[in-house]
A and B are shown apart, each in its own frame.
Chain A
């Protein structure tokens, strides 16, 4: 088998990214949309760490750590917003979150 190069990891990261984008665009359940966003962030992290290995320094890994911190903060606030909305309208369907429509 061919040795595993950086390109292999980039392909996996791209596949995860596209799957995450499909999930954000297609699903109705808000929680699953948020989980697809986590998929996208993981794909970006994998990309960064693969490039950090390719260049031989640790900047990519440090950036990946910051992205993980950022994802934690965003998941907390996003789920808080979801819970606050669910208290008002009793639904988690993206199509029904349209209170600001004129």
Chain B
């Protein structure tokens, strides 16, 4: 029990049954991720991706990041996945459900992914000491306000990420224009 956990317990914010929730949610996320890449039907894969996104959102909640949870549910699960389902319905042709799921060169892809996995495993095993839980408490009740301070700044000065925020809004404008132009019948 590191000191961080005692601090969280003393301040009354200790999460409840954390290991159990973590294993259930992480298992759900990984199993649904596996289903996304192996299911034949695209709509089933989209539903599995929704389960993955919601499990990852719950993991964010366990990491004391409620605002990122909210943004993930609103934008990812409620926006992007609706977009994916619309497009799947538009391009879902019968032929695609009867042909092979995987590429011709799938052993090469699988081998490359295994190398990547081996790289990750070796990084985790060798660098285990680097990821020690330092026990820094993250207050949950003012998370949104603190993120807002970093994004928008306080009275009289710009936040750290205000410029990046403006660039992100420009990026979204470009994406809107791009999506409209791509799908016009005559440009």
List residues of chain A with CB under 8 Å of any chain B CB. Answer: 1-12, 14-23, 25-29, 31-32, 34-36, 38-39, 42, 45-46, 49-50, 52-59, 61-62, 64-66, 68-77, 79-84, 86-87, 90-95
B147 touches A95 (CB 8 A): no
List residues of chain B with CB under 8 Å of any chain A CB. Answer: 1-2, 5, 18-20, 22, 26, 29-30, 33-34, 36-37, 42, 45-46, 49, 52-53, 56, 59-60, 62-65, 67-68, 71-72, 75-76, 79-80, 83-84, 87-88, 90-91, 93, 95-96, 99-104, 106, 108-110, 112-113, 116-117, 120, 124, 128, 131-134, 136-138, 143, 146-147, 150-151, 160-161, 164, 168, 171-172, 174-176, 178-179, 181-183, 185
Q: Which residue of A29, A65, A77 is within 8 Å of B68 (Cβ)?
A: A65
A58 touches B150 (CB 8 A): yes
B52 touches A18 (CB 8 A): no
A69 with B168, Cβ < 8 A, contacts A7-B131, A35-B46, A92-B91 known: yes
